Chain A
Amino acid sequence: MLGTTIPSVRDHIWKEIVTGQKTIGFEFLAANILIQRIRELYINEPSDENLQTYILQLRELFVRNSELASVKKDICKINNMEN
């Protein structure tokens, strides 16, 4: 997975971001705020169902804003982290 293609929802990178196993400082303000929030929620109720919900929510944020230059850079960061 390279460049500005958004990793699929099944990609392990999303789980690592949501659970805090991997930390990526994003340029996209909304992503940083949302990640902080969903990490807190996941720590409080760490179920598989919640994990899936938060992964979908975070990925959706990148999908909806994928045309922004800052988000493209962030998607590259995710892909570089993944490799």
Chain B
Amino acid sequence: MIFDKLHDLEEIEKKILKGETLLIAADEKLLKKLPAGRWIGGTTTYFMTELGGVCTDKKIFVTELDAVASNINIKTYDENTIENIYLDAPENGFSFIIMPAGSKCHSVFSMEAFSFKDFAMRPLIGWLPGTHLDETGVDKPKAYSGAAPGKSIGGAIVMHVELTGNKLAEVGMLNMFEQGGGDTITFPESGFTAKEAYINGVKVDFAKYIFENNLDLRLPLVTDVNGTFVNTSFCRNFGDDGEVMFYSPVFKTFEYKHAKPVANYAEKFTKKLSMGLGVEMVFSCNCILNYIYSGLDRYSRSDLSGPVTFGEIAYHIHNQTVVYLRIIHNQ
């Protein structure tokens, strides 16, 4: 991880005014003050840094792209235009998306991205902003852009980045969770909520099943996507009608299992990074649920840095994962 660290507002203002290309994460009151320029940003007050997990509303996390970017295009999407995101991506490069949860755009992307023209044909990475956990329901997660400084974005903000020369972008996802050995869970409908589920083929009230089986909602549902484990995380609160709520949709065609507990998340993560993944990594972000459930706020290793996020995007939406962008220098 060579580009990222926490900065003061004044430092970032100078970088923006010098014309640097930046991906930014910070508290809203800092993002709102940033001048026009080549940047996009989202709200969070949680970060993984060289010093471990940090919560601050006084510093800005930045990823500098000038060493790798030859050209950029900052574009705003809404629920009607988000389907073009893969079509707009550069031939050699990547697209970086910041999209607040709860918007129509977020809903359309989460439910329908699989059907977008050229889905997954070009690298797409990004994250969902959030607020300080003490401010949940008071403040709203927001995205900003140097193309229209001071104004939050209603849908999604995307920086399409063309890479210089012989560089290649690789987007990946790290998931420390695996499927447990319990019941097979499917859903009659796709969506962010589920009143009912099929447990080993038998229809049940899903909330009742969770209570009766004492399911630990800190652990996600995990589905096997052609050998890649993909998570769907539970919201801790239930809906007004007792429906179970999720941070990303469940899909009726997928089979899920409740995840196995992870004994030592931070150690397992470090082991994965030590296998060489950290080399050429330009950006990564880790989920707030890992931060609070897995002890990352007490994590003190220097090989993990990035904003702590409220949903991750690597081609599609993910929960309780790390997503990363590597820029590889092709020989």
Contacts and interface: CB of A to CB of B under 8 A. Distances in A.
A70 B225 CA distance: 17
Interface in A47-83: 60-61, 64, 67-70
Most buried by A among B122, B123, B228: B228
B173 interface: yes
Tell me the dominant secondary structure on chain A's binding face.
helix
Of the four ranges (under 10, 10 to 19, 20 to 34, 35 or more), the interface on chain A belongs to 20 to 34
Contacts of B122: 64
Interface in B159-174: 168, 170-173
Contact of A34 (B120, B173, B227, B330): B120
A29 B173 contact: yes
B195 to A, nearest CB: 23
Contacts of B173: 29
A68 B120 contact: no
A6 interface: no
A5 interface: no
A34 B226 CA distance: 9
Given A29-B171, A29-B315, A32-B227, A64 B121 contact: yes
A67 B123 CA distance: 13
Interface string B133-177: 000000000000000000000000000000000001011110000
Interface in B204-248: 225-228
A68 B226 contact: no
B260 interface: no
B276 to A, nearest CB: 10
Interface of B: 114, 119-123, 168, 170-173, 225-228, 253, 314-316, 328, 330
